Structure 1
């Protein structure tokens, strides 16, 4: 994991969200999987949307996925992102079927392609928060 200077809003580290980011801090991308029907889910929540079960577990992801979609932000709406524009928030569809909103590390917006294979890479942005970013696979 690499620590970088980070001046943007951070995720709230509470409840199931904290558990997700605790796994990221350990260098593992994990998603919830329902123990009843086997459906993966993200963002973390208590109940399965498929079968309404409360019985679930954290399962390690392969870390592999493909770009599902993206958009190019030319004018940031939040001041912390002003110097980063233009940038491209990317939605990655993971092998497990869940989708993650993230950013690419090595790919300018004009080189993004739907279906492009990607791999997770973790970046420690504070002592408490490690974020999952992606690189071309």
Structure 2
């Protein structure tokens, strides 16, 4: 059964990101001119101003560099409280905000290695695969 989640950000670049997630791949924009990885999705490269991108496959490996636990209901019941959020530095460099899967803040240590997983979710736009991270 799909977990109910707050509504995703939608739009051309974001929709491409979610389409890749549906295939079980974490792909982020790579600038065709300077090769910088962009996250979140952009229309122009923040490094060189280029507007041509390819969707680069990420390894799915990273490390937890920060975390927090939310104890207030910011999403009208869409997430049970308290809920944990982690900041993962992907092996390729970008920082990615996500949720832990199979562990909580009590299990986290600085630089803890994590690996990508996908969670079956739904929002007002329908079902989607949410990238989350498990202990590696």
Which sections of structure 2, spanning at least 5 residues, go unmatched?
Answer: none
TM-score, normalised to structure 2's length? 0.89
Distance in 2 of aligned mates of 1:79 and 1:68: 28
- Structure 1 stretches of 4+ with a deviation exceeding 4 A read none
Distance in 1 of aligned mates of 2:52 and 2:16: 16
Q: Is the 8 A contact 2:86 2:99 kept in 1?
A: yes
In the other structure, the counterpart of 1:114 is 110
In the other structure, the counterpart of 2:33 is 36
TM-score, normalised to structure 1's length? 0.88
Q: Is the 8 A contact 1:75 1:85 kept in 2?
A: yes
Q: Could you say what the CA RMSD is over the residues aligned between the two structures, in angstroms?
A: 1.6
In the other structure, the counterpart of 2:10 is 13
Q: Is the 8 A contact 1:47 1:53 kept in 2?
A: yes
In the other structure, the counterpart of 2:129 is 130
Greater fraction of residues in strand? 2
Greater fraction of residues in helix? 1
Which sections of structure 1, spanning at least 5 residues, go unmatched?
Answer: none
